[in-house]
Amino acid sequence: MAVYQIRVFAIFYYILGHCVFINNIEATHQLYRNLQSVSSSSSSSNQPYRTAYHFQPPKNWINDPNGPMRYKGLYHLFYQYNPKGSVWGNIVWAHSVSNDLVNWTPLDLAIYPSQPSDINGCWSGSATILPNGKPAILYTGIDSNNQQVQNLALPKNASDPFLSEWVKNPKNPLMAPTTANKINSSLFRDPTTAWLGKDGYYRVLIGNQKETTGRALLYRSKDFVNWVEAKHPLYSAKGTGMWECPDFFPVLSKSMSGIDTSVNGPNVRHVLKVSLGSKLHDYYMIGSYDVKKDKFLPDTGLQSIESVSRYDYGKYYASKTFYDDAKKRRVLLGWVNESSSVADDIKKGWSGIHAIPRAIWLHKSGKQLVQWPVVEIERLRANPISWPIKVLKAGRHLQGTGVTAAQADVEVSFEAKEFEKAEVLENWMDPQVLCSKKGASVKGGLGPFGLLAFASKDLKEYTAVFFRIFKHQHKPLVLFCSDQSRSSLNNINDLTTYGTFLDADPYQKNLSLRSLIDHSVVESFGEGKAVITSRVYRTLAINDEAHLYAFNYGAADVKITRLNAWSMKKAQIN
């Protein structure tokens, strides 16, 4: 359950008229409770920012994806939802199903407060497919004493492919803070998918914080009901704060295929991902799992957080993966939170979407994961346009015509040659800061070049996704940015610029970019190695007034070796 820290500034702004910083989690909860049932007065016909093919409910608040799985031929997605309003509160597990991870049908609420162990909220958790083929859900409940505890729910009828009814275990809670285990009852949440060891014991992780140390607490069980805390966490790191929504899964070192969460052995590495409440980003570590000691040994630990990879360098949080046994892949889902104000969320009647599901696998270098939108999203492509090879002159931009610019999928590759014109970066700098200082409007040597999405005709508004090539220590260094500084004339919105350095060698290979553009979101994939998701609320570039450009504002020419774009059809979602 990952939301209250993300939106605290906006809520203070709405209630008090100015921003106040606060670290007190319980106080933040109280603020949300003041707003949790506020409804929208907006008409559904005036919704220019609602997405066409990203997952979101018809109205109200949504955050973390929960318990994703494939069962009896259907994909199941549960998610944190407020059925009463467009701000966080009244949290339940809503439920939708799909044949293809693109089109979704809503079902009745799956898990909602009904026991003393969850009477104050049903927070995030995960699904596990047991050896008998039946699913089990572990989730965090907020009990009658406002403690965070872990509960179990099983399907009432396992032969029902829709899993439309869930029954809670009468022994709930199965894991709880006690005087003996000295666990803070407000920092104990978000169980992972469980995995089964060769010793016959299930293992599950719970996110936790002790003093300043973030921890992935490990619990074991023989029967999935009686759980015992291990003597030590699977992994911990001082100074990292609360670990929300942990995820732990294996990846193959020599294949793009996914594997079941319980698989281990030769050519298998493990990934531990945590959502850091202090940073509001999802970080993942690749390493080894010592099954004898039940310890995770990362190649790079969270103590060196600047060197730890993120799933996404924009707005993306509380992610979760599952193994898709039909297509032998691991699929990643994540929550994309807002850049609009709480007041605007209430006015429009909804808040939050989910990113397009991504297939993920270990890069052949073994140093990072590769992410790519699931192939099923390509079924929505229509009216393709394709450019011949074009030289994009320095200081120029070219309009992409024939594509619905507010609802598109764009793939483009750039070839750079004049490396002698690349700017020299003498000292290493935080890439997000560098993207802010050298945004799309700042002319450079080799770059910036990329796409202007959601651009108004006069270019007063645009969201620029681009590359800029530097020389650093006599080697090329590729900066990958999403510049939102001019994305809206509404300055109340979050106009943060995002960025990262991209592990790519433009001497050897063209730089590729894919952007999924959908009314208020731009998901951009740089080489599949880095992803930046932006939320954009324009005032001018809305619907038919939105335009798409390829641009090059550097001093050197670049060549567009490939540009394919499609207008995207609307998915059937909820």
Domain with CATH 2.60.120.560 in the chain: 381-568
Residue 345 tokens, joined: 């969320």
CA–CA gap between residue 58 and residue 50 (Å, rounded): 9
**Superfamily, domain 381-568:** Exo-inulinase; domain 1 (2.60.120.560)
pLDDT of residue 28: 30
Domain with CATH 2.115.10.20 in the chain: 4-41+66-373
**3-state helix, strand and coil shares in percent for the chain, rounded to the nearest 5:** 10, 45, 45
Pairing of strands 463-472, 423-424: parallel
CA–CA gap between residue 185 and residue 175 (Å, rounded): 11
Instruction: Give the sign of the dihedral formed by CA 2, CA 8, CA 11, CA 15.
Output: positive
Question: Quick check: is 505 catalytic?
Answer: no
Residue 456 tokens, joined: 């108004």
Q: Which residues of the chain, if any, have pLDDT below 70? A: 1-45
Helix (H, G, I), strand (E, B) or coil at 76: strand
pLDDT of residue 179: 83
CA–CA gap between residue 353 and residue 46 (Å, rounded): 18
The model's pLDDT over 138-159, given as tens digits with 9 standing for 90+, comes to 999 999 999 999 999 999 999 9
| pTM (global) more than 0.75 | yes
- Sorted by sequence, the CB contacts under 8 Å of residue 300 that are 6+ apart come out as 285, 286, 307, 308
The residue written with tokens 């009477």 in the block is 119
Cβ count near 47 (within 10 Å): 15
Question: Quick check: is 143 catalytic?
Answer: yes
pLDDT of residue 30: 34
CA–CA gap between residue 123 and residue 423 (Å, rounded): 48
Report the CATH architecture of 4-41+66-373: 5 Propeller (2.115)
Using omega within 30 degrees of 0 as the cis cutoff, is the peptide bond preceding 431 cis?
no
pLDDT of residue 304: 81
In the set 100, 108, 118, 143, the catalytic residue is 143
The residue written with tokens 């952007």 in the block is 515
pLDDT of residue 4: 43
In the set 64, 409, 483, 518, the catalytic residue is 64
Residue 117 tokens, joined: 């162990």
